[in-house]
Amino acid sequence: MVFTILVACERIDAQNMTTSDNQSTKSTMGIATFAGGCFWCTEADFDKLPGVISTTPGYIAGTVTNPTYKQVSSGTTGHIEAVQVRFDPAKTNFARLLAAYWPTIDPLTLNRQFCDGGPQYRSAIFYHNSDQKKKTEASKAELVASRRFSQPIVTEILPATTFYPAEEYHQNYYVKNPIRYAFYRSGCGRDGRLEEVWGK
Protein backbone atom coordinates (compact mmCIF):
# COMPACT_ATOMS: atom_id res chain seq x y z
CA MET A 1 0.00 0.00 0.00
CA VAL A 2 1.36 3.40 -0.95
CA PHE A 3 0.47 6.53 0.95
CA THR A 4 0.82 10.02 -0.50
CA ILE A 5 2.30 11.54 2.62
CA LEU A 6 5.61 13.31 2.10
CA VAL A 7 8.28 13.87 4.71
CA ALA A 8 11.08 16.43 4.55
CA CYS A 9 14.34 14.61 5.19
CA GLU A 10 17.79 15.57 6.32
CA ARG A 11 20.68 14.16 4.30
CA ILE A 12 23.86 12.55 5.53
CA ASP A 13 27.24 13.34 4.03
CA ALA A 14 29.07 10.01 4.17
CA GLN A 15 32.33 11.17 2.63
CA ASN A 16 35.57 11.73 4.55
CA MET A 17 34.09 11.01 7.95
CA THR A 18 36.22 11.31 11.08
CA THR A 19 35.29 9.97 14.51
CA SER A 20 33.38 13.15 15.26
CA ASP A 21 31.73 12.87 11.86
CA ASN A 22 30.50 9.39 12.80
CA GLN A 23 28.98 10.75 15.99
CA SER A 24 27.35 13.54 14.02
CA THR A 25 26.00 11.04 11.49
CA LYS A 26 24.49 8.96 14.28
CA SER A 27 22.69 12.00 15.61
CA THR A 28 21.20 12.75 12.18
CA MET A 29 19.93 9.22 11.61
CA GLY A 30 16.18 8.92 11.61
CA ILE A 31 14.46 6.92 14.33
CA ALA A 32 11.06 5.24 14.33
CA THR A 33 9.41 2.72 16.65
CA PHE A 34 6.75 0.20 15.68
CA ALA A 35 4.92 -2.60 17.50
CA GLY A 36 3.43 -5.41 15.47
CA GLY A 37 3.19 -8.42 17.72
CA CYS A 38 6.24 -10.69 18.02
CA PHE A 39 9.28 -8.46 17.57
CA TRP A 40 11.19 -11.24 15.78
CA CYS A 41 8.83 -10.85 12.85
CA THR A 42 8.66 -7.06 12.95
CA GLU A 43 12.45 -6.89 12.91
CA ALA A 44 12.67 -9.28 9.96
CA ASP A 45 10.11 -7.23 8.00
CA PHE A 46 11.89 -3.90 8.54
CA ASP A 47 15.37 -5.27 7.86
CA LYS A 48 14.28 -5.88 4.26
CA LEU A 49 13.56 -2.22 3.58
CA PRO A 50 16.00 0.06 1.71
CA GLY A 51 17.53 2.75 3.89
CA VAL A 52 17.12 0.89 7.17
CA ILE A 53 20.42 0.97 9.06
CA SER A 54 19.55 -1.08 12.13
CA THR A 55 16.65 -2.65 13.98
CA THR A 56 16.45 -3.35 17.70
CA PRO A 57 13.73 -5.48 19.29
CA GLY A 58 12.74 -4.26 22.73
CA TYR A 59 10.10 -3.10 25.17
CA ILE A 60 8.32 0.24 25.40
CA ALA A 61 5.42 2.02 27.12
CA GLY A 62 5.60 0.18 30.44
CA THR A 63 6.14 1.10 34.07
CA VAL A 64 9.00 -1.21 35.04
CA THR A 65 12.64 -0.16 34.59
CA ASN A 66 14.80 -2.59 32.58
CA PRO A 67 12.08 -5.21 32.17
CA THR A 68 12.91 -8.78 31.20
CA TYR A 69 11.18 -10.82 28.53
CA LYS A 70 9.59 -12.97 31.25
CA GLN A 71 8.13 -9.89 32.94
CA VAL A 72 6.84 -8.35 29.72
CA SER A 73 5.38 -11.59 28.38
CA SER A 74 3.38 -11.94 31.60
CA GLY A 75 1.46 -8.83 30.56
CA THR A 76 1.89 -7.16 33.96
CA THR A 77 4.42 -4.40 33.20
CA GLY A 78 2.46 -2.40 30.65
CA HIS A 79 5.21 -2.80 28.06
CA ILE A 80 4.65 -3.64 24.41
CA GLU A 81 7.03 -5.70 22.29
CA ALA A 82 8.34 -3.30 19.65
CA VAL A 83 11.19 -2.64 17.25
CA GLN A 84 13.19 0.56 17.10
CA VAL A 85 14.30 1.34 13.58
CA ARG A 86 17.27 3.54 12.67
CA PHE A 87 17.24 4.73 9.09
CA ASP A 88 19.22 6.84 6.66
CA PRO A 89 17.15 9.93 5.74
CA ALA A 90 19.06 10.15 2.45
CA LYS A 91 17.60 6.80 1.38
CA THR A 92 14.19 6.61 3.02
CA ASN A 93 11.91 8.52 5.35
CA PHE A 94 9.33 8.03 8.07
CA ALA A 95 6.41 8.09 5.64
CA ARG A 96 7.86 5.20 3.64
CA LEU A 97 8.48 3.18 6.79
CA LEU A 98 4.94 3.90 7.92
CA ALA A 99 3.52 2.79 4.58
CA ALA A 100 5.57 -0.42 4.79
CA TYR A 101 4.45 -1.06 8.37
CA TRP A 102 0.69 -1.26 7.88
CA PRO A 103 0.62 -4.36 5.64
CA THR A 104 2.81 -6.27 8.14
CA ILE A 105 0.20 -6.16 10.92
CA ASP A 106 -3.41 -7.05 11.62
CA PRO A 107 -4.82 -3.59 12.47
CA LEU A 108 -8.28 -4.96 13.25
CA THR A 109 -7.59 -7.14 16.29
CA LEU A 110 -7.34 -5.64 19.76
CA ASN A 111 -4.60 -6.74 22.16
CA ARG A 112 -3.44 -9.51 19.90
CA GLN A 113 -1.35 -10.15 16.82
CA PHE A 114 -1.81 -13.54 15.19
CA CYS A 115 -1.18 -16.34 17.71
CA ASP A 116 0.20 -14.01 20.39
CA GLY A 117 -2.43 -12.65 22.76
CA GLY A 118 -2.29 -9.97 25.43
CA PRO A 119 -1.76 -6.19 25.54
CA GLN A 120 2.01 -6.71 25.28
CA TYR A 121 1.44 -7.85 21.68
CA ARG A 122 -0.89 -5.11 20.51
CA SER A 123 -0.09 -3.09 17.43
CA ALA A 124 1.08 0.48 17.92
CA ILE A 125 3.07 3.26 16.28
CA PHE A 126 5.20 5.39 18.59
CA TYR A 127 5.94 8.94 17.46
CA HIS A 128 9.22 10.64 18.40
CA ASN A 129 8.19 14.18 17.46
CA SER A 130 5.18 16.22 16.39
CA ASP A 131 5.92 15.64 12.70
CA GLN A 132 5.79 11.86 13.14
CA LYS A 133 2.58 12.19 15.14
CA LYS A 134 0.96 14.27 12.43
CA LYS A 135 1.97 11.88 9.67
CA THR A 136 0.93 8.80 11.62
CA GLU A 137 -2.50 10.26 12.35
CA ALA A 138 -2.86 11.24 8.69
CA SER A 139 -1.89 7.80 7.43
CA LYS A 140 -4.35 6.08 9.76
CA ALA A 141 -7.08 8.51 8.75
CA GLU A 142 -6.31 7.85 5.10
CA LEU A 143 -6.59 4.12 5.68
CA VAL A 144 -9.95 4.59 7.41
CA ALA A 145 -11.18 6.87 4.62
CA SER A 146 -10.27 4.25 2.03
CA ARG A 147 -13.10 2.07 3.42
CA ARG A 148 -10.89 -0.93 2.92
CA PHE A 149 -12.10 -2.43 6.19
CA SER A 150 -15.57 -2.68 7.68
CA GLN A 151 -14.09 -3.12 11.17
CA PRO A 152 -12.40 -0.28 13.10
CA ILE A 153 -8.63 0.07 13.01
CA VAL A 154 -7.43 -0.47 16.58
CA THR A 155 -3.71 0.17 16.08
CA GLU A 156 -2.68 2.76 18.66
CA ILE A 157 -0.71 5.97 18.11
CA LEU A 158 1.39 6.67 21.21
CA PRO A 159 4.26 8.95 22.25
CA ALA A 160 7.62 7.21 22.35
CA THR A 161 8.79 6.65 25.91
CA THR A 162 11.87 4.89 27.27
CA PHE A 163 12.80 1.99 25.02
CA TYR A 164 14.57 -0.99 26.56
CA PRO A 165 16.42 -3.30 24.15
CA ALA A 166 15.42 -6.92 24.57
CA GLU A 167 17.85 -9.62 25.66
CA GLU A 168 20.65 -10.47 23.25
CA TYR A 169 19.12 -13.77 22.16
CA HIS A 170 16.13 -11.85 20.77
CA GLN A 171 18.31 -9.60 18.61
CA ASN A 172 18.37 -10.81 14.98
CA TYR A 173 16.59 -13.97 16.07
CA TYR A 174 15.43 -14.74 12.54
CA VAL A 175 19.07 -14.68 11.37
CA LYS A 176 20.49 -16.69 14.27
CA ASN A 177 17.71 -19.28 14.27
CA PRO A 178 16.24 -19.38 10.75
CA ILE A 179 14.57 -22.79 11.06
CA ARG A 180 12.95 -22.07 14.42
CA TYR A 181 11.91 -18.62 13.20
CA ALA A 182 10.33 -20.00 10.02
CA PHE A 183 8.49 -22.64 12.05
CA TYR A 184 7.22 -20.03 14.51
CA ARG A 185 6.08 -17.59 11.81
CA SER A 186 4.31 -20.31 9.87
CA GLY A 187 2.79 -21.95 12.94
CA CYS A 188 1.57 -18.60 14.24
CA GLY A 189 -0.39 -18.06 11.04
CA ARG A 190 1.05 -14.60 10.53
CA ASP A 191 1.37 -14.59 6.75
CA GLY A 192 -1.96 -16.35 6.26
CA ARG A 193 -3.76 -13.72 8.33
CA LEU A 194 -1.94 -10.90 6.55
CA GLU A 195 -3.10 -12.25 3.21
CA GLU A 196 -6.63 -12.48 4.58
CA VAL A 197 -6.53 -8.87 5.79
CA TRP A 198 -4.55 -7.20 3.02
CA GLY A 199 -4.80 -9.58 0.06
CA LYS A 200 -1.92 -10.99 -1.95
Residues designated catalytic: 38
Q: pLDDT digit of tens for each residue in the chain (200 aa)?
A: 433 333 333 333 333 333 344 444 556 899 999 999 999 999 999 999 999 999 999 999 999 999 999 999 999 999 999 999 999 999 999 999 999 999 999 999 999 999 999 999 999 999 999 999 999 999 999 999 999 999 999 999 999 999 999 999 999 999 999 999 999 999 999 999 999 999 98
DSSP 8-state class, residue 35: E
Architecture category of domain 29-198 in CATH: 2-Layer Sandwich (3.30)
Burial 146-178 (b: 16+ CB within 10 A, else e): eeeeeeeeebeebebeebbebeeebbbbbeeee
User: What residues contact residue 1 under an 8 Å CB cut-off, 6+ apart?
Assistant: 99, 102, 103, 143, 198
> pTM for this one?
0.86
